Amino acid sequence: MDDYMFQQYVQDCKCVEEATSYLEIYNYSDGSLNTSEEHRFRFDELPDEFVNFLHRRGAFAPPKLKEGVHLTSGIRLILQLNAQQNDTFSPRYISLSHKNYELMVRNLKLPFRAIEGTSVVGPFFWCAFDQDDDDPHLQIIFRKSDVRKKGKTRGWEIMLSHSFNDGITTGFVKGTPSSDMMASIKHLKACAQQIMHPMLLPTIILSHDLSGANDVKQRDAREWLRKLEHAVSMRQEILEEEVTNYVKDSMVDLDQINRDLVECHSQVLWKRPQAYQEIIKSMVTAMDNFWTKAQNDEKYGGKGGTVDKLHRSILARLDFYQAKLKGIENYAHITLERLHIQRAALYNIIAQKESKLGLEMAGEQRRLAHAAKRDSNSMKTLSLLGAIFLPATYLASLFSMTFFDFQDQKNNYYYYYTNGSSVAGSGGTSPSSPEDDGNSVVSPFLWIYFVVTIPLTAAIVLAWRLWDKRRERKYAQEDVAIELGIDEMERRIMAQMRKRTMSKVRTWDVGVSVSAASKLQ
């Protein structure tokens, strides 16, 4: 079943070519014969070089040893430490041709199941024995891949197979420049005398992946969180430079605080401890599986030998990482809880500001309503003035009609009426009108109109002005009442919100006892 599924998965995968090299480290009973070589494959110049490496023939054939000298341990790896292709860690992609990949897995006794893990995300570790009873192998898959960043995939992968017959570990190692594969292989070559243990390379990779950079990121996140807490609470004793990035023109930049809360949250979750704790548990199981089979083998030195000491050293290191991750988990948990509190406080501040903005808008609407009311009162004033002067205008038009003549008549002609009959003045002729002689006559009583009109108009305007001033004072008092009403409504709302959320006493005077607090209430 495994063989068929392996072939099917390989055929379904796409290929991307990566620069490929090899590493061979051999340790002999005569230490002067120990070798460590790393070279790049020349596929174009030597097309058979890769196959020769897999079959250990030609330049890669085992050397002839002196009598009494034997191979004690060895490791043979195919390396792709600087993977550059964008899809090198994408699902269903392999970085060798279909033929070379299948040859590599079969001849180096690597796990068939590794091809099925190309879609795995995050850290992943698997270890088991193969089914070859004549030459048993301990097979290991250890990989970590991530989503694209700047268009490129990221991650690393190792496949190992350890033979208990000859003590040689074979494998395939691949990593992008952002991984620690180069540093891990350099570390492996420095520990060449300890390559007998198949878990040496996975432990080295884990050590680099859980380097102090993870602890520093957690500490930086906590420092970042402290500044965010100060910016949100605006405590009086904080240093000004600690909140400079969050205060602009004496106003707190809530958008910047919100963005930094998200970034800080992401940094805390970087390399989540729980995932690596499960990895370490699986590695400890793999260690037990290896030692169960190797502790009675003379080739590994038995108890008290070099491999036993290395085995116990690796177990102690894994236990150290387990304790370290537990501390980081607790540390990160507290940081996440504090971030949650600050996010809730920030949302509360935003809600308060929105409520205040709503109050301001309501106040403006009330002011606009009162302004409209004043405009309507002004229109009433105009209507009143029109009503006052309209009769005067009508009377002026009426008295200007020909039925009323207040003009001084020329030649003292006049008409008078007695008993319903008219009697002519001197001369017995009809008087001539002003139009008859072409002269216009101004009544000497014209001054009466101005004497009456001007004082009357002045009195009306003065009365209106006094009434308007009184009305303005009334409006000013109403505006003050409106403002006081808005402020009082805002204070009531804010007081209710503080009771339900946070108050300065509860967030700052944390040392007050429960009994003291009850007395204050």
Tell me how far apart the alpha carbons of residues 437 and 434 are, in angstroms, rounded to a whole number. Answer: 6
Tell me how far apart the alpha carbons of residues 332 and 277 are, in angstroms, rounded to a whole number. Answer: 14
CA geometry: angle 22, 26, 32, nearest 5 deg? 130
Provide mean pLDDT across the span 267-282.
82
% of the chain residues with pLDDT over 90: 18
Q: Summarize pLDDT for 357-367 with one digit per residue, the tens.
A: 777 787 778 77
Neighbouring CB atoms inside 10 A of 206's CB total 23
Q: Summarize pLDDT for 423-456 with one digit per residue, the tens.
A: 444 444 444 454 444 454 556 666 776 677 777 7
Tell me how far apart the alpha carbons of residues 305 and 1 are, in angstroms, rounded to a whole number. Answer: 39
% of the chain residues with pLDDT over 70: 76
In contact, 210 and 324? CB cutoff 8 Å: yes
Tell me how far apart the alpha carbons of residues 75 and 334 are, in angstroms, rounded to a whole number. Answer: 44
Neighbouring CB atoms inside 10 A of 378's CB total 12
Number of H helices, E strands in the chain: 13, 13
Which pTM value belongs to this model? Answer: 0.65
Provide mean pLDDT across the span 494-518.
47
Which amino acid makes up residue 224?
Answer: W
pLDDT of 387? 64
| Residues ≥6 apart with Cβ < 8 Å to 50 | 20, 41, 43, 100, 103
pLDDT of 160? 94
pLDDT of 514? 38
pLDDT of 200? 92
Tell me how far apart the alpha carbons of residues 298 and 188 are, in angstroms, rounded to a whole number. Answer: 24
pLDDT of 140? 93
In contact, 272 and 278? CB cutoff 8 Å: no
Model confidence band, residue 504 (pLDDT cutoffs 50, 70, 90): very low
Q: Summarize pLDDT for 31-67 with one digit per residue, the tens.
A: 888 999 999 988 878 888 899 999 988 888 888 888 8
Tell me how far apart the alpha carbons of residues 229 and 497 are, in angstroms, rounded to a whole number. Answer: 20
Across the chain, mean pLDDT equals 77
Does position 409 have pLDDT exceeding 70, yes or no?
A: no
Half-sphere exposure of 55 (CA within 13 A, CB side): 9
Tell me how far apart the alpha carbons of residues 346 and 436 are, in angstroms, rounded to a whole number. Answer: 96
**Every domain of the chain and the residues it spans:** 2-209, 407-442
pLDDT of 284? 94
For 177, 185, 401, the CA distances from 210, given in Å and listed in that order, are 17, 16, 112
Tell me how far apart the alpha carbons of residues 185 and 195 are, in angstroms, rounded to a whole number. Answer: 12
Give Dmax (Cα) for the chain: 181
Q: Summarize pLDDT for 204-218 with one digit per residue, the tens.
A: 999 988 877 777 777
More confident residue, 373 or 57: 57
What's the full length of the chain, in residues?
521
In contact, 282 and 127? CB cutoff 8 Å: yes
